[in-house]
Amino acid sequence: MKTSQIEPFFAVLKAANPQPASELEYSNVFELLAAVLLSAQATDAGVNKATRHLFAVANTPARMHALGVEAITQYIKSIGLYRNKARNLHETSRILVEQHDGAVPRTREALEALPGVGRKTANVVLNVAFGEPTMAVDTHVFRVSNRTGLAPGETPLEVELKLLERVPTAYLPDAHHWLILHGRYVCLARRPLCEECAVAHFCDSRPLFIGKPPRQREALADA
C-alpha cells in the first residue's frame, strides 16, 4: 500500500464505523484487563458468555482474588486454556491488590509484569482504558496489515512498529479496532470477501483475490 493511500484507507473505515469499540463486554478497567487476558485463543463471544457470570460475582481485583482459583476455573471452563488462565487471573488480581492498591496500572512495564499479560493485552488496556495511541496486533490485525500491504512484517512486533510509523496520528486511537473488525468480518483468513470490501481498491492483494471463486480464493489465502 502506498503511503498516499493510507489516509483515505482509514477515512473509509472511519466513515463506515465512526466510533469502533471492542466487542468484549466490560464495565470497568479491571474487567477489561480480565476479559482481554481470557481472550487469548478464544472468541470474544465465548469470553463474554463466561464473564457475564464471573463479573457478576467478582468485578474487582479483591473480589476476584477472594473467589479463588477453583471457583474462577468453574466460571471460565468453557474458554480454551481455562486452567492456566484461571491461575493467571487469580495471581494478577493478588498483585493488583498488594502492589497497586487494587487499581490497574497505566504503564506498559507494570502491565506486562502481570501473569498472563503480554504486549498485546497491555496495548489493548493502554489504548482502550487510558487512551494511549498503542497498536494491539492480534491475528486479524497481523493478517490485514500484511495482506493489504499497510504494514507488512514477519512478527507481530514488526507489524506493530510499522503501523505506529505509518498510521496517521488522527487515526491511531481507533486504528486497531478498525483493523480487527475488518479482519473479523471482511478480510477473512480463508475466504476474504473482496467483492464486499469498501477498501479493496487500496489493497495490495486485490489483484490476487478479486473475482476469484471461493475455493480458488481460499487456496490463495492459504498460500
- Catalytic site residues? 120, 138
Residue entry with cell 482481554: 36
Angle between helix 119-128 and helix 172-185 axes, rounded to 10 deg: 120
User: What is the spatial distance between Cα 134 and Cα 174, in angstroms, rounded to a whole number?
Assistant: 9
The CA angle 48-77-47, to the nearest 5 degrees, is: 15
User: What is the spatial distance between Cα 162 and Cα 140, in angstroms, rounded to a whole number?
Assistant: 16
User: What is the spatial distance between Cα 30 and Cα 55, in angstroms, rounded to a whole number?
Assistant: 10
Nearest to 119 by CA among 141, 100, 103, 99: 141
